[in-house]
């Protein structure tokens, strides 16, 4: 969602443009953005483990 919005209407002429834009996105986010994202991943991983291979 955030990356989609960040990349909207961007045009990459070469690999360097792509890499530079990726770095700009990473540096544009706050530490809280990453903390929240990692916390969400942990919850998802636990849900996967607790489902014991079943769909949820």
Of 17-21, 43-47, 52-56, the range with the highest mean pLDDT is 17-21
DSSP string, 3-54: HHHHHTT---SSHHHHHHHHHHHHHHS-HHHHHHHHHHHHHHHHHHHHTTT-
Band (53; pLDDT cuts 50, 70, 90): confident
Phi-psi label, residue 38: left if phi above 0, alpha if psi -120 to 50, beta otherwise: alpha
**What is the mean pLDDT of the segment spanning 3-16?**
96
* pTM (global) more than 0.75: no
To the nearest whole number, what is the mean pLDDT of the chain?
93
Could you read off the pLDDT of 29-48 as tens digits, one per residue? 999 999 999 999 999 999 99
């Amino acid at each position: 969602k955030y990356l989609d919005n960040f990349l909207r209407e961007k045009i990459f002429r070469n690999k360097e443009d792509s890499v530079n834009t990726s770095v700009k996105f990473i540096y544009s986010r706050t530490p809280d953005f990453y903390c929240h994202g990692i916390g969400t991943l942990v919850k998802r991983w636990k849900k996967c483990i607790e489902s014991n291979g079943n769909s949820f």
